[in-house]
Amino acid sequence: MTVTVYVYDDTHTVIVNTSANQGSTTMYDKTIKLYQGIDNTVKFALKDNDRNAVDLTNLTVTFNIFDATTNESILARPLTVTNATKGLAQLNLPASAIDNVAGTFYNYSLYTTNASSEQQVVFTDLNEAAKGTLEVVEGIASNPRETEQITFESSNPNFTKQNLGKSATGETWYYSSAVSGASERNLTSATHTIALYSDGFDGDFIVEGSMESTANTTSHTEWFHIKLDGESNDYVSLTNATTIASYNFTSMAKWIRVIYLPTAPADIGKITKVLVRN
C-alpha cells in the first residue's frame, strides 16, 4: 500500500498599514499551526495596503502568542528577516519553546519597531485585524514532560498550623521549596503526579498550591491545600514508611509545594526527596 503525504511550504501574508488605499481585493488571514515535539518555522510576507513588499531594513518584527480569553502572554519572539527588500521574515521556534503550552487555540499578533524605537501594529488581513488565530497541535512527536524536584532546606523557618493530622496539640510543620504548577501548560489538562521518597518517616504531609505571581513560601496564607486523588483528607499519613509513595492530583495552581508534620523530632528530614511531573 502506498500512502501519499504532503509537505506544505506555507507563507502567511500580513499587512503594514502605510496608505489609506485598501486595494481592490480583501485578503483574509489563515490559522497558524505550531506542532509540539518538533522545531517549527513560520514564514511571513509583510505587505502594505497595495500589496507591495514592505522594506524591513532597519525594522525589527516581533511575534506574540497570547491566551484568547485572558490575553495573558504565552510567548514573544523576534522574527528572522530572510529578505529585507522583499518583506520576508520567519519565526524559528525550537520544540522546547512550546513544550509547556497546552494544545488549543490562541491569538497571535505582530508589530514592527524601527531604529527610533517607534512601534507599528502589523495587521493579519486587509480589514485591519490586529490579531490572528494560532493552534498548538499536540501528539506529533514524543514530548516528555520535565520532572521537577522539591527540596526541604534546613534553614527554612517552620510554622504553626491548625490541628489536622496525628498531633493532638499545636503543630509545627516543615515546608519545602516551590516548583511551577505549569498552569500555562494545564489550560486544558490540569493533572499532576507527585512521588514522595521517605526513609522511615512517621507523620503527615500535605500538597499545597498558590495562585500568586511569585511563590512566597514564608507567607503561609497564600497557600491552599490540594487533595490528592483517592484520599479522603487533605493530609496523608505515613507510618514509619520507607517507600516511594506516588499520587495524582488535579490543580490549576501556579505554584506547588509540600508541607509535612513529623510525629517526633527523629522524623525530621526523613522525607528525602519529592518529585513532581506536570
pLDDT greater than 70 at residue 159: no
More confident residue, 197 or 162: 197
Q: 110: domain CATH number? A: 2.60.40.3350
| Closest to 225 (Cα-Cα) out of 161, 269, 272 | 161
The pLDDT assigned to 160 comes to 57
Q: Is the residue at 1 inside a domain?
A: no
Domain end, chosen from 92, 109, 137, is at: 137
pLDDT category, 24, cuts 50, 70, 90?
very low
Question: Distance between alpha carbon 101 and the CA centroid of its chain, in Å?
Answer: 5
- 22 with 126, same domain: the answer is yes
Residues of the chain with pLDDT > 70: what percent?
A: 79
Lowest mean pLDDT among 22-26, 140-144, 203-207: 22-26
142 assigned to some structural domain: no
pLDDT at position 167, please? 52
Q: What is the b/e burial string over 30-52, where b = at least 16 CB atoms within 10 angstroms of the residue's CB?
A: eebebbbeeebebebbbbbbeee
CA-based nearest residue to 148, from 174, 102, 175, 181: 181
Domain that holds residue 199: 147-277
Q: What is the predicted pLDDT for the residue at 55? A: 92
Q: Output the pLDDT for position 7.
A: 46
Q: Does pLDDT of 209 surpass 60?
A: yes
Q: What is the pLDDT of residue 4?
A: 35
Return the top range by mean pLDDT from 141-150, 170-179, 200-209. 200-209
- Between CA 28 and CA 235 the distance in angstroms is 54
CB contact set of 162 (below 8 Å; sequence gap of 6+): 171
Indicate if 186 and 232 belong to the same structural domain.
yes
* Average pLDDT along the chain: 80
Question: Under a CB-based contact definition with an 8 Å cutoff, are residues 66 and 74 in contact?
Answer: yes
Instruction: Please report, for the domain that includes residue 215, its CATH number.
Output: 2.60.120
Residue 33's pLDDT is 92
User: What's the total number of domains in the chain?
Assistant: 2
pLDDT at 251 over 90: no
**Structure confidence by residue, pLDDT tens digits, 101-153:** 888 899 999 999 999 999 999 888 766 778 899 999 986 765 556 788 888 76
Residue with cell 499519613: 237
The domain boundary, picked from 137, 170, 185, lies at 137
